[in-house]
Amino acid sequence: MTTGKNYIGDVLSAKGKTTYKTINPELNSENETVFYEATDEEISQAVALAEEAFKTYGTIADDKKADFLEAIADEIETLAEELLTTYIQESGLPAGRANGERGRTTGQLRAFATMLREGSWVEAIINKTEGKPDIRRLQIPIGPVVVFGASNFPLAFSTAGGDTASALAAGCPVVVKSHPLHAGTGELVASAVIKAAKRTGMPNGVFSNLNSSGIAVGTALVEHPSVKAVGFTGSIKGGTALCKIAANRAIPIPVYAEMGSINPVLILPSALKTESEKWAKNYAASIVAGTGQFCTNPGLILGIKSAELDNFIAILALETDKLDPTCMLHPTIKKQYENLKSEVLDQEGYTQETSLEKVVKPNYALQNIIAVDGATFLKNKTFHKEVFGPFSVVVKCDDVQQLNTIILELEGQLTGTVLNADLQEWNNFREVIENLKNKVGRLIFNNVPTGVEVCSGMTHGGPFPASSDSKFTSVGLTAVKRWVRPVTFQDWPDQLLPDALQDKNPLNITRTVNDILTKNPI
């Protein structure tokens, strides 16, 4: 049951006078629960609790943290239909998506628990050579972390999503700034985290959840001197604003922001000669998936002028038109989509490929495909902008040289995709693909970019503005690296060292000993 209150540690609190409600975008009406925005006092209490909890949680054994993460997953599943119903009411997303995202959320938590039990994530390094200093290094947690819930993933990138799961795995208490679009979903998940913390004996303050309808709460959290890092998924405007706030603190802190991307797709000629219809159908579905509200939505498709490319565009438009429009997350997001789309459609030099004649419900988005030539795209940067929704631009390049120029002028991206049916063709595009690789965090071959596999090899990030630091990922087990820092112990007595660095290797983890990976004791 949602109360509309904030979780300050394990206590529900509603001291503020600023209130708001969430919207059911499918019905275009307000949901019932009134939510109370966190006050400055509540913010300070949550961070103070997190700081105190860190004294214990930052040194707790990995297997205990693993128990906690698994308990969170269990408690989320216990919420059952109440969670799914609230999710659907607040997002306009279908039941299948709700089920899938819940599974991804609990799967992430359990994957980090498995990582903790294996133990090598601490990256223990030992240099022990006679006549030289005894040098031993491992990763330690940095302290309280603030996580911003994402609008487009009410579960997997929000309250107990990847940022929170990885920070808790690292040993960092988390204060969540709940997203106002799905505050009820956030509160239910927060209740699951609190129950799990109590069940597994975690310190009070290891987790808090704060409501906010504007930017004040988030700003205050990032500015708070006890906060050591920030996780954010959202717009370029929001992410860069937080980076500036964090950089201007007396002691700057990192903001790991995953932001905008148009995810360029490079179609090589061979792919159009043999599988044009297949790729057109796949990309129509990808562009419209989730009403285009995935950060990996293919917003830019690049090819070289040919009859085959024209045929591909025609099939893509036809297949896109066949798909029923779906509901966006919120009236504000629908309005933003229409404004951004109008800004692009107000330009000159493109052709409209999809139909604009369908009548849609108030918060439903009409999908749109346009095409421009390479020279127009290079000249007019408006065509480069991300339109958050089911929108994509196809660029018809004159030749490989112009295609390469376009790739070089693109900003950093989360993904880049290459479609190819003949590896003999590869050498003709080697430079283009190398330049594309330097622009992205994930390079895909013969697939669609929508969908992000949660695994240790995944990179969900990329050069700015795809993310604020391209060295890190917000998805997968290595996301934990954002919340730790290395510490070296020099000439310490063995019995005073952390277990991961002791000679006998009591944790039986893989370590680097004198530059050799081993589980053997010293």
Which residues are the active-site residues? 258, 295
Distance CA 261, CA 384 (A): 10
Distance CA 436, CA 302 (A): 12
Contacts of 488 (CB under 8 A, 6+ apart): 135, 136, 137
* Length of the chain (residues): 522
Return phi, psi of residue 49, to 5°: -65, -40
Omega into 521 within 30° of 0, i.e. cis?
Answer: no
Instruction: Assign residue 318 a region (left: φ > 0; alpha: ψ between -120 and 50; beta: otherwise).
Output: alpha
Q: Which long-range contacts (CB under 8 A, 24 or more apart) does 360-364 make?
A: 360/325, 361/28, 361/325, 361/327, 362/28, 362/331, 362/334, 363/25, 363/26, 363/28, 363/92, 363/327, 363/328, 363/330, 363/331, 363/334, 364/291, 364/325, 364/326, 364/327, 364/328, 364/334
Going by their DSSP bridges, the two strands 229-233 and 368-373 should be labelled as unpaired
Using an 8 Å Cβ cutoff, are 36 and 6 in contact?
yes
Using an 8 Å Cβ cutoff, are 159 and 130 in contact?
no
| C-alpha count within 13 angstroms, C-beta hemisphere, residue 360 | 22
Distance CA 511, CA 326 (A): 50
Return phi, psi of residue 133, to 5°: -60, 145
Judged on CB neighbours under 10 Å (0-12, 13-18, 19+), 58 is middle
Where do we find the tokens 């050799």? 516
Distance CA 243, CA 506 (A): 41
Return phi, psi of residue 387, to 5°: -110, 105
Distance CA 338, CA 344 (A): 10
CA-based nearest residue to 305, from 262, 273, 278, 269: 269
Distance CA 407, CA 127 (A): 44
- Identity of the residue numbered 450: T
Angle in degrees, CA 32, 37, 40, rounded to 5: 165
Report residue 276 as tokens: 């044009």
CA-based nearest residue to 365, from 407, 335, 400: 335
